[in-house]
A and B are shown apart, each in its own frame.
Chain A
């Protein structure tokens, strides 16, 4: 049971962080389908930083620096999406898909360049990220995620920035007419999603293992996070709940062999399928009253008001 909680928390936090990222982007009016790619970029940047920092450095500093580098990489990478979809008014889905494909290629090229073996595997130590409370081994991403969740909520609903951001995703013409710079707000939304997505990518890769093959990317976690965001109705706390719900399925796959579930003799493939099937069923039921930002996916053109 403890193991189930552990895996659920670890994986749930990943989904939540990335989904929160997606939420910021969509509230500004940009569909960020590139989350998967942003996770990969964040992961490779964070892991690479880990391998390069001297082992004598204090763990806290290691954690801080590597996470900051990952977030920064995510921000830079998401600039590509922002530029294409805001300035050039490109189709956001196509631009995002391109960035997903590009991300894996970039990560593999970088990993191969830096790894000793010439393969896309990087080795690192994740000790600095782990701690345990009463036998429950957790990563720093759990408390970090909770803090970011609360901050996200406050920013979105209690600040001037949040009000303006949401206005841009709902009715950019209205925002523009009261002097809000829609382009700037949308950039902000996308870049925040870049930072959160990248931290999520690192949280996906680093805590469980000490070596990662970047050819596999993040195996659809970014896409699942989008489903989490929809299921969470673009609201921070709902997203958190949705993320934990999805994470339970994933965790079952990890612990299946060691618990009563083993008697079913289901393979990991079946457990892996579950969150995706669950998300489809939930989407089908919740689609009727969607709270999606109204203007998401539509490029804002100053001429068209």
Chain B
């Protein structure tokens, strides 16, 4: 009976989280629609809103493949931010860790011609190092990880650009395309590309690999670590109350650094999934903006209330509308409308706690008093099993 009570509470809170997320999405989309109306009222519905809503399905199967290819790294950056949140840290540095991960993956692929899984591992390690540094500053100098992460985002960007570009002479740099060499163009790099097991054929794309499945597996692993292990217990304790964790004999400094390192590794891994699927190439001349994947990770994590499993779905959703944005006709609308919508959604997520509170009150007003033998909630257990697979 006590177990039922627990499941019941967990179930309640997941329902509220999902509803709060949906509320954010609905309001965000509504504001987006208003913007479309303001820019070009005549086309706002059919050529604007519906296309964003359809996302990849506007041009299936190609669009869907593209959506999945974009979703894989987003799952990872979302996990990165969400994992840090769970341990009480705000990893705004996902963009920088992603940048380093990109360099690691591409260097191993182009220069060392290593197999894809090694490239991925190196990407994760470099990202992890880049995450550990702000963790170190937080643990030993008590500097807020937000400010450090931001600084290291930019340091990372300039560093990687310099390493790749080298005044235009870098061996990884393709002068004609002003990008890194295209992995798909030469059979030399075939071993470094993540296998697609026929997905590219299915979706008629050239960048849909098993990346999304790898990301999903990692998401499940993270869920297990956070919820089932002593390590996760310690990390969360440090996140919720650093002083109490210290009191309990947990090395909170070590845990802060570890948790930032893991968050960084997740972002770096995400960059690996992106570049080793050959979704795009790195542009070292872009020295003024950080990879959007890192920041979109924040939206993904917030939308999923930092739940690793939820991250998979929220990443797919964000990818869905941003692919939808690219299908907008530039004649009528800038593609950044999709960014606008996701920006509004994060803004709303910032106070989704409030929504959650309201929803909880509306739905479960009397639940606590009457729940003794109500709803045994076997669904939750079934879910947990699925997630554990």
**Do A and B associate with each other?**
yes
Give every chain B residue within 8 A of A269 (Cβ-Cβ): 158-159, 161-162, 165, 287
Give every chain A residue within 8 A of B288 (Cβ-Cβ): 216-217, 219
Taken residue by residue from 147 to 159, chain B's Cβ proximity to chain A (1 for < 8 Å, 0 otherwise) reads as 1101111110011
Cβ-defined contact, B141 with A95, below 8 A: no
Give every chain B residue within 8 A of A283 (Cβ-Cβ): 137, 141, 143, 147-148
Cβ-defined contact, B151 with A223, below 8 A: yes
Shortest Cβ gap from B91 to chain A (Å): 11
Give every chain A residue within 8 A of B154 (Cβ-Cβ): 220, 223, 272-273, 276
CA distance A272 to B146 in the complex (A): 20
Give every chain B residue within 8 A of A102 (Cβ-Cβ): 340, 343-344, 346-347
Taken residue by residue from 197 to 238, chain A's Cβ proximity to chain B (1 for < 8 Å, 0 otherwise) reads as 000000000000000000111011001001100100000000
Taken residue by residue from 131 to 175, chain B's Cβ proximity to chain A (1 for < 8 Å, 0 otherwise) reads as 000000100011100111011111100110110011100000000
Whether, in the assembled complex, A91 has its beta carbon less than 8 Å from a beta carbon of chain B, the answer is yes
One of A90, A112, A227, A270 near B162 (C-beta < 8 A): A270
A101-B346, A268-B287, A273-B159 known; A226 and B147 CB under 8 Å?
Answer: yes
Shortest Cβ gap from A47 to chain B (Å): 16
Give every chain A residue within 8 A of B344 (Cβ-Cβ): 98, 102
Residue of A nearest to B298 (CB): A97
Contact residues of A between 69 and 90, Cβ < 8 Å to B: 80, 84, 88-90
Give every chain A residue within 8 A of B41 (Cβ-Cβ): none
Cβ-defined contact, A219 with B289, below 8 A: yes
CA distance A272 to B349 in the complex (A): 33
Shortest Cβ gap from A145 to chain B (Å): 23
Residue of A nearest to B348 (CB): A98
Whether, in the assembled complex, A267 has its beta carbon less than 8 Å from a beta carbon of chain B, the answer is yes
Residue of A nearest to B289 (CB): A216
CA distance A267 to B285 in the complex (A): 12
Give every chain A residue within 8 A of B302 (Cβ-Cβ): 94
Give every chain A residue within 8 A of B97 (Cβ-Cβ): none
Residue of B nearest to A102 (CB): B343
CA distance A33 to B299 in the complex (A): 16
Shortest Cβ gap from B129 to chain A (Å): 15
Whether, in the assembled complex, A123 has its beta carbon less than 8 Å from a beta carbon of chain B, the answer is no
Whether, in the assembled complex, B50 has its beta carbon less than 8 Å from a beta carbon of chain A, the answer is no
Q: DSSP class of A's interface residues: helix, strand, loop or mixed?
A: helix
Whether, in the assembled complex, B90 has its beta carbon less than 8 Å from a beta carbon of chain A, the answer is yes
Cβ-defined contact, A84 with B158, below 8 A: no
Give every chain A residue within 8 A of B350 (Cβ-Cβ): 84, 90-91, 94-95, 98
Shortest Cβ gap from B273 to chain A (Å): 22
Cβ-defined contact, B351 with A267, below 8 A: no
Cβ-defined contact, A276 with B151, below 8 A: yes
Give every chain A residue within 8 A of B159 (Cβ-Cβ): 269, 273
Whether, in the assembled complex, B377 has its beta carbon less than 8 Å from a beta carbon of chain A, the answer is no
Shortest Cβ gap from A179 to chain B (Å): 28
Cβ-defined contact, B90 with A277, below 8 A: no
Cβ-defined contact, A101 with B342, below 8 A: yes
A108-B336, A113-B334, A269-B159 known; A223 and B351 CB under 8 Å?
Answer: no
Q: DSSP class of B's interface residues: helix, strand, loop or mixed?
A: helix
Cβ-defined contact, B343 with A101, below 8 A: yes
CA distance A95 to B302 in the complex (A): 11
Residue of B nearest to A99 (CB): B347
CA distance A230 to B150 in the complex (A): 14
Q: How many residues of A contact B (CB 8 A)?
A: 47
A109-B337, A283-B143, A287-B141 known; A94 and B151 CB under 8 Å?
Answer: no
Give every chain B residue within 8 A of A84 (Cβ-Cβ): 347, 350-351
Contact residues of A between 264 and 283, Cβ < 8 Å to B: 267-270, 272-273, 276-277, 279-280, 283
Give every chain A residue within 8 A of B373 (Cβ-Cβ): none
Whether, in the assembled complex, A106 has its beta carbon less than 8 Å from a beta carbon of chain B, the answer is yes
Whether, in the assembled complex, A284 has its beta carbon less than 8 Å from a beta carbon of chain B, the answer is yes
Residue of A nearest to B284 (CB): A269
Whether, in the assembled complex, A135 has its beta carbon less than 8 Å from a beta carbon of chain B, the answer is no
Whether, in the assembled complex, A51 has its beta carbon less than 8 Å from a beta carbon of chain B, the answer is no
CA distance A42 to B153 in the complex (A): 24
Give every chain A residue within 8 A of B146 (Cβ-Cβ): 33, 93
Shortest Cβ gap from A2 to chain B (Å): 26
Residue of B nearest to A297 (CB): B144
Give every chain A residue within 8 A of B142 (Cβ-Cβ): 287
Cβ-defined contact, A94 with B298, below 8 A: yes
Give every chain A residue within 8 A of B346 (Cβ-Cβ): 94, 97-98, 101-102
Give every chain B residue within 8 A of A226 (Cβ-Cβ): 147, 150
A273-B159, A280-B137 known; A88 and B351 CB under 8 Å?
Answer: yes
Whether, in the assembled complex, B35 has its beta carbon less than 8 Å from a beta carbon of chain A, the answer is yes
Cβ-defined contact, A105 with B339, below 8 A: yes
CA distance A102 to B158 in the complex (A): 24
Give every chain A residue within 8 A of B152 (Cβ-Cβ): 276, 280
Residue of B nearest to A273 (CB): B158
Shortest Cβ gap from B8 to chain A (Å): 28
Whether, in the assembled complex, B261 has its beta carbon less than 8 Å from a beta carbon of chain A, the answer is no
Give every chain B residue within 8 A of A277 (Cβ-Cβ): 151, 155
CA distance A109 to B166 in the complex (A): 34
Taken residue by residue from 56 to 78, chain A's Cβ proximity to chain B (1 for < 8 Å, 0 otherwise) reads as 00000000000000000000000
A-side interface residues toward B, CB under 8 Å? 33, 80, 84, 88-91, 93-95, 97-99, 101-102, 104-106, 108-109, 112-113, 118, 120, 215-217, 219-220, 223, 226-227, 230, 267-270, 272-273, 276-277, 279-280, 283-284, 287-288
A-B contacts, 23 of them at CB < 8 A, read A88-B354, A94-B90, A97-B346, A98-B298, A98-B349, A101-B346, A102-B346, A105-B337, A109-B35, A109-B334, A109-B340, A112-B336, A215-B289, A217-B289, A223-B147, A226-B147, A269-B287, A276-B151, A276-B152, A276-B155, A280-B155, A284-B143, A287-B143
B-side interface residues toward A, CB under 8 Å? 35, 39, 90, 92, 137, 141-143, 146-148, 150-155, 158-159, 161-162, 165-167, 287-289, 295, 298-299, 302, 330, 334, 336-337, 339-340, 342-344, 346-347, 349-351, 353-354
Q: Which 9 A-B pairs have the closest CB atoms?
A: A102-B343, A216-B288, A90-B351, A98-B347, A98-B346, A105-B339, A269-B162, A95-B350, A105-B340
